[in-house]
């Protein structure tokens, strides 16, 4: 079992073996991260540049942490403070940084497909840290790692993904990976935030919050992505959103025994997730963040091995 590709661009075309390889490998790094000295030399002498055209807290800092713990020189490129503002193109920007002998680019961009475009035009390894509405593969890997850690296996598991599915690259990467691993996925969200062809995902679609939560082992709440909704807010008030689409403690009671609640962050408290759930024992929000570092260490180590 291994992963032989140059890049990690999404989960849609990954096999079950490739997904499981990353989850198994990440365990080694989780153990390392629990030591007092969290250092390995898998990326010693290598250069990783985090190329971020969109804001990030978790993904960028965890990739930077992962790269540094593996001994790499980790550099952060922030588009808003770069020559992008003077009109430099995406590929010119990448080629200039590649000329500095960069080994891995970790890229977040607002356009779907842009990270694949970079991978096709660069000899360096490329990791997709979120491209538009398309994919966020390391988020899916850290979600799966956290689910397996708490539930033991994926067999017969029911996962409900709830909220702004249309604008969520997290939802897409989770759905593709979970379907490959045989997980039963249910989707639910406001009609104005559901993709037109939601049936194309091949998932069960719930009619209301209660139906979406009932029988779930894992509930993944999605952030309402106001930055992708254009000029008009797609719902009249946050109170109304919370009433029809928010996860409350009462609703969590409808789920299976010992349910796990996930959220990729940042949370809109009181909108998609109430604080009494976000800060409760069933909340995996900070476990997801912790496991994100281990998963990203596994991804970076694998790609650098493939690069030779």
Interface residue with ligand CP, options 47, 50, 59, 242 (CB under 6 A)? 59
Task: Mark residues 186-225: x for contact with ligand CP by CB under 6 A, - for none.
Answer: ----------------------------------------
The answer to the question of residue 56 lying near ligand CP (CB under 6 A) is yes
65-94 burial by CB neighbour count: b if 16+ within 10 A, else e?
bbbebbebebeebebeeeebeeeeebeebb
Site for ligand CP in 143-182 (CB under 6 A): none
The answer to the question of residue 228 lying near ligand CP (CB under 6 A) is no
Q: How far is the CB of 130 from ligand CP (least distance, A)?
A: 6
**C-alpha dist (Å) from residue 58 to 61, 165, 188:** 6, 20, 25
Q: Is 251 annotated as a binding residue?
A: no
Total residues binding ligand CP (CB under 6 A)? 9
The answer to the question of residue 139 lying near ligand CP (CB under 6 A) is yes
- CA–CA separation, 77 and 5 (whole Å): 24
Q: Are 106 and 50 in contact (CB under 8 A)?
A: yes
**Stretch in the footprint of ligand CP (CB under 6 A) among 33-41, 56-64, 109-117, 241-249:** 56-64
Based on its alpha-carbon atoms, the radius of gyration of the chain, rounded to whole angstroms, reads 19
- CA–CA separation, 305 and 62 (whole Å): 20
Q: How far is the CB of 86 from ligand CP (least distance, A)?
A: 26
User: H-type helices in the chain, by residue range?
Assistant: 16-33, 58-69, 90-98, 114-120, 137-151, 169-180, 209-213, 238-245, 249-252, 275-278, 285-307
Q: Are 138 and 16 in contact (CB under 8 A)?
A: no
Q: Is 234 annotated as a binding residue?
A: no
The answer to the question of residue 78 lying near ligand CP (CB under 6 A) is no
Interface residue with ligand CP, options 2, 15, 57, 275 (CB under 6 A)? 57
The answer to the question of residue 58 lying near ligand CP (CB under 6 A) is yes
Q: How far is the CB of 90 from ligand CP (least distance, A)?
A: 20
**Stretch in the footprint of ligand CP (CB under 6 A) among 6-14, 87-95, 224-232, 260-268:** 260-268
The answer to the question of residue 265 lying near ligand CP (CB under 6 A) is yes
Report the C-alpha dihedral over residues 162, 168, 173, 177, rounded to 10 degrees. Answer: 20
The answer to the question of residue 132 lying near ligand CP (CB under 6 A) is no
Task: Mark residues 102-131: x for contact with ligand CP by CB under 6 A, - for none.
Answer: ----------------------------x-
Residue 66 contacts by C-beta under 8 Å, 6 or more apart in sequence? 29, 293, 294, 296, 297, 299, 300
Q: Quick one: which H or E segment has residue 261? A: strand 260-262
Q: Which residues are annotated as a binding site?
A: 58-59, 86, 108, 136, 139, 169, 223, 265-266
Residues that bind ligand CP (CB under 6 A): 56-59, 130, 139, 264-266
């Amino acid at each position: 079992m291994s992963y032989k590709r140059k890049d990690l661009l999404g989960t849609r075309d990954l096999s079950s073996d490739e997904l499981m390889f990353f989850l198994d490998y990440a365990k080694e790094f989780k153990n390392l991260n629990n030591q007092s000295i969290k250092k390995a030399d898998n990326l010693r002498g290598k250069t990783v540049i985090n190329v971020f055209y969109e804001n990030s807290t978790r993904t960028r800092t965890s990739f930077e942490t992962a790269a540094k713990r593996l001994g790499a020189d980790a550099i952060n490129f922030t588009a808003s403070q770069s020559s992008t503002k003077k009109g430099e193109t995406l590929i010119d920007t990448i080629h200039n940084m590649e000329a500095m002998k960069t080994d891995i680019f970790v890229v977040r961009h607002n356009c779907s497909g842009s990270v694949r475009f970079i991978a096709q035009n660069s000899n360096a390894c490329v990791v997709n840290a979120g491209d538009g509405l398309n994919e966020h593969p390391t988020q899916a890997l850290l979600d799966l790692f956290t689910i397996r850690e708490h539930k033991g296996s994926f067999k017969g598991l029911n996962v409900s993904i709830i909220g702004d599915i249309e604008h969520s690259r997290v939802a897409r990467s989770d759905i593709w990976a979970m379907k490959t691993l045989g997980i039963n996925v249910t989707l639910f969200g406001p009609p104005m935030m559901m993709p037109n062809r939601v049936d194309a995902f091949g998932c069960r679609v719930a009619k209301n919050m209660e139906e979406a939560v009932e029988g779930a082992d894992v509930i993944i709440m999605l952030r309402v992505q106001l930055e992708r909704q254009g000029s008009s807010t797609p719902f009249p008030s946050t109170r109304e959103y919370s009433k029809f689409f928010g996860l409350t403690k009462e609703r969590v009671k409808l789920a299976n025994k010992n349910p796990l609640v996930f959220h990729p962050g940042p949370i809109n408290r009181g909108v998609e997730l109430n604080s009494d759930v976000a800060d409760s024992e069933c909340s995996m929000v900070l476990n997801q963040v912790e496991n994100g570092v281990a998963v990203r260490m596994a991804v970076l180590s694998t790609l650098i091995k493939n690069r030779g």
